[in-house]
Structure 1
Amino acid sequence: MGLTKDFFIALSKNQVLNSGAKKWGLKLGASKVVAGTDIDSMLKSVKELNADGISATIDNLGEFVYSREEALEAKKNILATLEAIQQHGVSAHMSVKLTQIGLDVDPGFCLENMREIAEAAARYAIFINIDMEDYSHLQPTLDILHTLVKEFDNVGTVIQAYLYRSEKDLELLKTVRLRLVKGAYKEISEVSYQSAQDIDSNYLKLIKIRLQQPGFTSIATHDHVIIDEVKRFVKEHNIPLDRFEFQMLYGFRTELQKQLAQEGYTFTVYVPFGEDWYGYYMRRLAERPQNINLALKSFVSK
């Protein structure tokens, strides 16, 4: 299992394959977990979720951005997506990766791009979640976030439970809206828990700390054991249901998504779309190797 995960994480970082994938369209089974390659396809998926009482956080996919031109193009696409959310009146906010808008080019340039996105989103009363990436980008991402939250109240980020430092980061972000996740990248033992049991244990610990802090919390997991424990905890501690939400990825455990929404929990689905789908999909295969058969069948059928 570890070897399989390492293999797909390595594939996710392959720029040659990523470039090729933009020309393929959604193949290898990716259409099951990516909501199309354009805004119209994404909106159709979001409207279907909204009809089931489920909101969306939209990710206009993009990776391997190392030039100002690519970063500015990504910013333009994000701004167009925000405008589409506003125009169509869908229940949705946006998730943005800072590397997509120039973090690896120049942090100051990235901050200005993010500031423009946050301003546009604020005009439309749309929240922007800054996605967390691998450990090398963690502190630069938090540095930009701490600057932005002094100016905007519609910006938040992600805390990853597999990192040792995450409990300390929670304390610094008590009032900021956060998404809590287990973590999808491969990190070294010096900075992160390595076993699933340790990660799960720390994840639950962080969730319980966070639910007693003032900021809104998105609990992003497909793990029904953790979901059941969260339900028990909020009931025991009289935590209002409007203080948190559950999140899952598009295309995963759809019946459980609908069930939780029907039970009265706020529910949001992470909806990725765009031509730059390859890296995202490889990380999903790394997390869920049972999807490999699906990918292979799709590839053969093409």
Structure 2
Amino acid sequence: MVLEAISKNFFLFLSNNRLLDRLAKKWGPKFGADKIVGGVTFEEAVPLIQQLNHQGLQVTVDHLGEFVNSAKEARNRSQECMNTIRTISENGLNSEVSLKLTSLGLDINEDVVMENMEQILETAEKHDVIVTIDMEDSSRCERTLEIYKRLKTKYYNLGTVIQSYLYRSDSDLDELNECNPYLRLVKGAYKESGKVAFPDKSMVDDNLKHLIKKNLLNGHYTAIASHDDKIIDFTKKLAEEENISKDRFEFQMLYGMRNQTQLELAKEGYTVRVYLPYGDDWYGYFMRRMAERPANIAFAIKGVFSK
């Protein structure tokens, strides 16, 4: 348990190293990035999405990048997202889009991020594509949820994320209840203070189970984003006991991880969505995946030395 905590803190520390980030953009494929990232451009990711769809898997794509500091770059990110939505539609892909508000101007001002989000959601509704706002660290949680609630009054095709390691998540679920939310429930992957987050993994797991049950029994579509067999089995058992049909929830997993489990769940009739990031700004994402699960470290090492 101690070693796991040290490992997590180490990789979260690395995730914020700017020098390593710059080196990673240059040498990414040699460190296994090509095994968890769909490509540098969305066009490179399209064949992968088609392959995943052919296997019975659905997808959500994310253009990697966060913490944008200029309105111009935020607009460029917004344009990239809209182009991705159009490409999804043109190619008949079974894919949604995920995005981070910091990539669209959250840290600049609210007008910038709202303008970009409204343009994206107008495009998404035109092409019948669902957009999910990813959750970031706790300092941005309140603003993210407030923006989500404002946009949800106007746009139906919008989801967001709740992280079970935060104390506030149960009350957040209550506040979102009236929005008829489409929620992705996750454990969480940022380094947080014990003042805002559960310090113990078992508490995080228990809270995730609580949130899954609560949101499903509230009647809202729920995406369970976890590679944890115990969480998956809990959800399946809950659905059976409460007579919750399989079209009311889905399992989500990362591209390149637990591939066989993804296929097995799909064959059992469950909706399985693969989170497929693309872009060259992959480093922070990769390090947070290492922090989440010790098993991911072995996966990455294997990627370095495999052909």
Give TM-score, length-normalised by structure 1.
0.95
Q: CA deviation at 1:179?
A: 0.4
Question: Is residue 63–residue 279 contact of structure 1 (8 Å, CA) maintained in 2?
Answer: no
Structure 2 match to 1:235: 240
Question: Is residue 25–residue 37 contact of structure 1 (8 Å, CA) maintained in 2?
Answer: no
Please show how residues 72-111 of structure 1 align to structure 2 within 5 Å.
72-111=75-114
Structure 2 match to 1:168: 171
Structure 1's 212 and 104: CA in aligned 2 closer, same or farther, altered over 3 A?
same
Q: Give the whole-Å Cα distance in 1 for the aligned partners of 2:6 and 2:188.
A: 18
Q: Give the whole-Å Cα distance in 2 for the aligned partners of 1:164 and 1:19.
A: 34
Aligned sequence identity (%): 46
**Partner AA of 2:294 in structure 1:** P
Question: Is residue 37–residue 275 contact of structure 1 (8 Å, CA) maintained in 2?
Answer: yes
Question: Is residue 65–residue 104 contact of structure 1 (8 Å, CA) maintained in 2?
Answer: yes
Structure 2 match to 1:272: 277
Q: Give the whole-Å Cα distance in 1 for the aligned partners of 2:208 and 2:9.
A: 22
Residues 1:27 and 2:53 are matched in the alignment: no
Structure 2 match to 1:192: 197
Q: Give the whole-Å Cα distance in 1 for the aligned partners of 2:30 and 2:64.
A: 16
Q: Which moved more, 1:238-247 or 1:23-32?
A: 23-32
Residues 1:122 and 2:154 are matched in the alignment: no
5+ residue gaps, structure 1, are none
Q: Report the number of matched residues.
A: 302
Structure 1 match to 2:149: 146
Q: CA deviation at 1:278?
A: 0.9
Structure 1 match to 2:42: 39
Structure 1's 290 and 246: CA in aligned 2 closer, same or farther, altered over 3 A?
closer
**Partner AA of 2:151 in structure 1:** L
Counterpart pick for 1:254 among 252, 259, 272: 259
Q: Give the whole-Å Cα distance in 1 for the aligned partners of 2:40 and 2:5.
A: 31
Provide the secondary structure at the position in 2 that maps to 1:264: coil
Q: Which moved more, 1:167-176 or 1:123-132?
A: 167-176
**Partner AA of 1:20 in structure 2:** L
Structure 1 match to 2:187: 182
Question: Is residue 35–residue 303 contact of structure 2 (8 Å, CA) maintained in 1?
Answer: no
5+ residue gaps, structure 2, are none
Question: Is residue 107–residue 140 contact of structure 1 (8 Å, CA) maintained in 2?
Answer: no
Structure 1's 18 and 70: CA in aligned 2 closer, same or farther, altered over 3 A?
farther
CA-based RMSD: 1.6
Q: Give the whole-Å Cα distance in 1 for the aligned partners of 2:295 and 2:226.
A: 17
Q: Give the whole-Å Cα distance in 1 for the aligned partners of 2:213 and 2:306.
A: 46
Q: Give the whole-Å Cα distance in 1 for the aligned partners of 2:263 and 2:132.
A: 23
Q: Give the whole-Å Cα distance in 1 for the aligned partners of 2:46 and 2:73.
A: 24
Q: CA deviation at 1:15?
A: 2.4
Structure 1's 168 and 85: CA in aligned 2 closer, same or farther, altered over 3 A?
same
Q: CA deviation at 1:172?
A: 1.7
Provide the secondary structure at the position in 2 that maps to 1:211: helix
Which digits, 9 at most, give the CA deviation of each residue in 1:174-228, with x for residues without a partner?
A: 2110000011111111111111111111110111111111321101111111111
Structure 1's 291 and 237: CA in aligned 2 closer, same or farther, altered over 3 A?
closer
Structure 1's 267 and 300: CA in aligned 2 closer, same or farther, altered over 3 A?
closer
Which digits, 9 at most, give the CA deviation of each residue in 1:10-55, with x for residues without a partner?
A: 1111223223322334331111211111112211111111011110
Structure 2 match to 1:216: 221
Q: Which moved more, 1:26-35 or 1:182-191?
A: 26-35
Provide the secondary structure at the position in 1 that maps to 2:217: coil
**Structure 1 residue ranges, 4+ long, deviating more than 6 angstroms after superposition:** none
Residues 1:52 and 2:55 are matched in the alignment: yes
**Partner AA of 2:64 in structure 1:** L
